[in-house]
């Protein structure tokens, strides 16, 4: 699976601005992600947060504690930059460098690898994150995007 272009990643983020995001919404989105992952036998961990509060977490068979560490590192990138972790990494690569070489951030704390996506609400901006970890980074990102598309369709 090829990485989406920067313009496509930016378009995804503008398309997924929600009118609201409640505890029930976090459960619904998280459950959709679990169903997608189970259907594919994907060994992932899933995390949804609003502000500093974890609203949903699931670890599927084959995932490991390392996936939770990746979740935290990717989530911090979204919280710092306000856009998806894949978009952040792609922007650095488009400049001919890498996030690790040029961000001046501790790589043990931040990872601009795909799979973390901002939860944005109309009038409030980015209020949280949804993260998948356990697949190659483009596939982690694609699973989140697919779940957000399903979530918005309901």
Model pLDDT for residues 100-138, shown as the tens digit of each residue: 999 999 999 999 999 999 999 999 999 999 999 999 999
Q: Is the pLDDT of residue 2 over 80?
A: no
* 139-149 average pLDDT score: 98
CATH of the domain at 62: 3.30.450.150
Q: Does residue 66 carry a pLDDT above 90?
A: yes
Q: How far apart are CA 110 and CA 97, in angstroms?
A: 16
Does the residue 1 lie in any domain? no
Could you give the number of structural domains in the chain?
Answer: 1
Domain span at residue 73 reads 6-153
- The model carries a pTM of 0.95
Measured torsion, CA atoms of residues 15, 16, 20, 25, in degrees rounded to the nearest 10: 150
Whether the per-residue pLDDT at 11 is higher than 80: the answer is yes
Task: Using the predicted structure, report yes or no on whether residue 3 has a pLDDT greater than 80.
Answer: no
């Amino acid at each position: 699976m090829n990485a989406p272009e920067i313009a496509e990643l930016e378009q995804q983020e503008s398309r997924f601005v929600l009118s609201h995001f409640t505890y029930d919404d976090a459960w619904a989105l998280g459950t959709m992600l679990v169903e997608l992952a189970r259907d594919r036998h994907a060994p992932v961990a899933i995390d949804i947060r609003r502000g500093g509060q974890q609203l949903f977490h699931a670890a599927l068979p084959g995932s490991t504690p390392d996936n939770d560490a990746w979740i935290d590192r990717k989530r911090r990138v979204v919280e710092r930059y306000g856009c998806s972790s894949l978009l952040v990494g792609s922007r650095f690569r488009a400049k001919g460098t890498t996030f690790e070489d040029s961000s001046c951030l501790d790589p043990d704390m931040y990872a601009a690898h795909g799979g973390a996506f901002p939860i944005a609400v109309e009038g409030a901006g980015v209020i949280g994150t949804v993260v998948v970890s356990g697949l190659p980074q483009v596939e982690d990102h694609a699973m989140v995007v697919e779940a957000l598309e399903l979530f918005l369709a309901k």
